[in-house]
A and B are shown apart, each in its own frame.
Chain A
Amino acid sequence: MIIEISHFLSILATGLFLLVGLISFITTDTKYTANLISRTFSHGFLLLLVSFIIYIWLAITDNFSVQYIANHSNTELPVFYKISSIWSAHEGSMFLWIIFIALWGFIFNINIKNDEVLKPKSIGVISLILVGFLLFLLLTSNPFEIILPIAPLNGADINPVLQDPALAIHPPTLYLGYVGFVIPFACAISFLINGNPDVRWEKLVQKWSVLAWVFLTIGITLGSWWAYYELGWGGYWFWDPVENVALMPWLAATAFLHSLSVSIKSYHLRVWTILLSISVFSLSLFGAFIVRSGIIDSVHSFANDPDRGLYLLMFIGIILIISLSLFILRFSMIRPIGNIKRFSKESFISINNIFFGSLIFSVMLGVTYPLVYEYLFDQKISVGAPFYNAIFIPIVLIASLFLFLSVDSKWSRNLNFNFFRSPMIVSIILSIASVIVLIYFFQTNNLTFLISVYVGLLIIFRYCIEIFNSFYFKKFINPFSAIAHLALGLLLLSISFNSLLSTERALSIRLDSIEEYKDLKIYFKDIKVVKNSNHDSIKALFFIENSRGNIVELSPEKRRYRTRGQITTETAIHISPLRDIYITIGDQLDNGNWVVNVQLNYFIRWIWFSGCLMAMAGIVLIFSKRKV
């Protein structure tokens, strides 16, 4: 009964959002309609929110007459996972996705005054997008369906790999990032419809876009961290298609933020800014399409049917046609006036846009090529790390070099400075010195490693000098840019060290014996079978001694979940600042030995730290009072 109330409220909200969309596009903007639109939207959001809260409550109280809850939750689960089970599969996660769009719209709605010229149409665009998704939810993937006549007693179970705190918060964070870009998108459309080039939509959306970018960054970092310890593969990035469809909006969003900072100050790069705002949002939708249409196999993809894919594809198509046609119609309005000065900040940022554009295009190619190939030639191929490395490493390094050069550039002025007295030469000398030390220390002639480290160090030294100058000489510094780019430098360094130093070996160890690997002595102490509430597990115990005589205990596990029969590997990881010792157990061999996979992952924590640091930079910008 209660579920019908929830269902009905969602339908009602759909109606209200449709009304908001119609009012905002049919009527002329007056103070009265602006108020009407704003209020009606808020009411629609509140209805939807109540509907969702009821749904959460039903999940917490194990109401298994709701089919979705019965299939994905279980009486045995802790409350936390009962709630997160809502977004563990297609229907519920779509519901969450919609709630988040409405939430962004609502917060935007109450924060922006009604007399803002762009507001009514922006709210209208958000409403129509909500209507599109709500219809998708209600018509093709209804989470409100009930089981008749009798409900099961216990429910099925949430997928065991999803019973993990990081994964419970990873999807919501990522979704908040994805759909947050509905705000810049809606404002860009509203600006194009409005047709007055003097309206500064860029100022309106900057903080919103940065916030969405922060969520996206944290979401991707969390996902990478989760995959590392939960899936048992080690490593932080696998170029899995679904990782790629999260990376594309992130790249586009990053380029968008750069481009935005130019368009805010002058009328330059508006074509880029608008195109990028459209790209970020449609790439986010594209991600949803890829995951939910079943067009690719991946760890992430939901069980699915092609109708859903078709609906989403058409939806994206309509959004693209409308927004791009508007863009073309208004092209003369946003066309650049005058040229950008050579070696000004603007020029560097437009080069940066081209680099990011090529990265996005190559990822897109990597995602779609196997699909097209399979369609044409009926053979499965996979595009993996070699392809992406070949493209990403050079482009990222060259872009980073340009970043290094751009630190000294000024807004709308030519670069003119004395090279030999600039901080640039100091950073170059420091970096070369460090690289020589590294060559001596690691005895390596791996050119990719050395160049990446060199470029990373250039950026870090350069920004450290900037920060130093700002403290001692009160020189102007943009804290957002400094922190974010320091994080980029750190990321380059940690990825380079990680790929140079990390090693992996599958050992075959007998119980009660010692194997040596690198500087480690691995003593296989014990292995036993443990029965738990919802799974059985084989638990091993290892004592690991490093060269300095420190001993750590690690106990990796292999679990078999009873309800689903699924087998998962629980890794055991010893974390220290520079490296992780990462152990998983495999099968028992015929001679009684166990296969044990040992990985030494260097600097891997630093990779996620860099991600968090980038997100931090965004938070700094949001809370800074000064214009950036």
Chain B
Amino acid sequence: MKFLFKSIVLLLPLAFIAMFYILLTDEDAYPGTDYKTFDIPKFQLENLENTKLIDNDEIKGSFILNVWASWCITCRVEHPFLMNLKNQGIKIIGLNYKDERSDAIEWLDKYGNPYEITVHDLKGSLALDLGVTGAPETFLVSNGKVVAHYQGEVNDAIWSNVFLPIIKEKGMF
């Protein structure tokens, strides 16, 4: 009885510690990651500069679809990494989400534009169809199909653990 009590006193807290250790060091666990595959929903929206309409046919091939807004602070944090990707020759399409056109253009002028095309989604309709909950979010698209989705800031760790394995597997870019 005494032995049992002593063991419980020592082992119960240690079991909790061990459990949290497993939870913390779980490499695959990047919350906000989703590998569901689906077609990009049908849409027709203006580009950010308001010079033409963009629909599914305008965006073909393999690219990164990045949801951003000038009011989103994390997007500002994420921005240098996207510029980096662009310089590596990766095609990025921006989805400007619930944002004022002028604010967004000013933002890109100020910090640099990593996007080949930016779609202006003022009401968030395309974003809604894509299952976006906020900004920033990033989709990996291969031939019109979304193959990976990450909610939150993409950085080196996320890029190499969430997106790169899929990119290698599919031989994209």
- Enumerate chain A interface residues (CB-CB to B < 8 A): 275, 282, 289, 293, 295, 297, 306, 309-310, 313, 316-317, 320-321, 324-325, 327-328, 331, 364, 368, 371-372, 374-375, 564-566
Contacts and interface: CB of A to CB of B under 8 A. Distances in A.
14 contacts: A289-B20, A295-B24, A313-B20, A313-B21, A317-B17, A320-B13, A320-B17, A324-B10, A325-B10, A331-B2, A375-B22, A564-B73, A565-B70, A566-B73
B1 interface: no
Contact of B17 (A297, A316, A564): A316
Given A313-B17, A565-B73, 10 more contacts: A295-B20, A306-B25, A313-B24, A317-B17, A324-B9, A328-B10, A331-B2, A371-B23, A375-B23, A564-B73
Contact of A275 (B9, B14, B19, B23): B9
Contacts of B9: 275, 324, 327-328
B6 interface: yes
A309 B25 CA distance: 10
A270 to B, nearest CB: 14
What 8 A-B pairs are tightest by C-beta distance, nearest first? A565-B71, A317-B17, A328-B6, A320-B13, A324-B10, A309-B24, A564-B73, A306-B24
A371 B2 CA distance: 33
Interface residues of B, number: 22
B26 interface: yes
A313 B14 CA distance: 11
B37 to A, nearest CB: 17
B10 A368 contact: no
A310 B25 contact: yes
A364 B15 CA distance: 13
Interface string B17-35: 1011111111001010000
Contacts of A306: 24-25
Contacts of B6: 328, 331
In this complex, which of A364, A372, A375, A565 has the most chain B Cβ atoms within 10 angstroms of its Cβ? Answer: A565
Contacts of A328: 6, 9-10
Nearest to B20: A313
Contacts of A295: 20, 23-24
Interface in B71-110: 71-73
Interface of B: 2, 6, 9-10, 13-14, 16-17, 19-26, 29, 31, 70-73
A328 B12 CA distance: 14
A316 B21 CA distance: 11
Contacts of A293: 24
A375 B29 CA distance: 8
A104 to B, nearest CB: 24
A562 B124 CA distance: 22
A410 to B, nearest CB: 29
Contacts of A275: 9
Contacts of B24: 293, 295, 306, 309-310, 313
Nearest to A562: B71
Given A310-B24, A324-B10, A328-B9, A368 B72 contact: no
A496 to B, nearest CB: 34
A317 B70 CA distance: 43
A368 B16 contact: yes
A461 B6 CA distance: 42
A317 B14 contact: yes
Contacts of A565: 70-73
Contact of B14 (A310, A320, A364, A368): A320
Contacts of A364: 16
Contacts of A289: 20
A372 B23 contact: yes
Contacts of A310: 21, 24-25
A48 B71 CA distance: 39
A425 to B, nearest CB: 40
Which of B70, B72, B73 is the most central at the interface, judged by chain A CB atoms within 10 Å of its CB?
A: B73
Kindly name the residue among B14, B24, B25 whose own CB sees the greatest number of chain A CB atoms within 10 A.
B24
Contacts of B29: 375
Interface centre among A328, A372, A564 (most CB of B within 10 A): A328
B19 A372 contact: yes
Nearest to B153: A303
Contacts of A282: 13
A324 B2 CA distance: 15
B7 to A, nearest CB: 9
A372 B23 CA distance: 8
A275 to B, nearest CB: 7
A295 B19 CA distance: 12
Contacts of A375: 22-23, 26, 29
A535 to B, nearest CB: 13
A317 B31 CA distance: 25
B78 to A, nearest CB: 13
Which residue among B21, B23, B70 has the maximum number of chain A CB atoms within 10 Å of its CB? B23
A174 to B, nearest CB: 22
Contacts of B31: 297, 374
Nearest to A309: B24
A374 B23 CA distance: 10
A141 B24 CA distance: 18
B153 to A, nearest CB: 10
A564 B71 CA distance: 7
Contacts of B16: 364, 368
Contacts of A331: 2, 6
B135 to A, nearest CB: 10
A294 to B, nearest CB: 9
A321 B12 CA distance: 11
A140 B71 CA distance: 30
Contact of B19 (A297, A309, A327, A368): A368
B150 to A, nearest CB: 15
A295 B24 CA distance: 7
A321 B71 CA distance: 48
B172 to A, nearest CB: 25
B101 to A, nearest CB: 16
A306 B21 CA distance: 10
A274 to B, nearest CB: 10
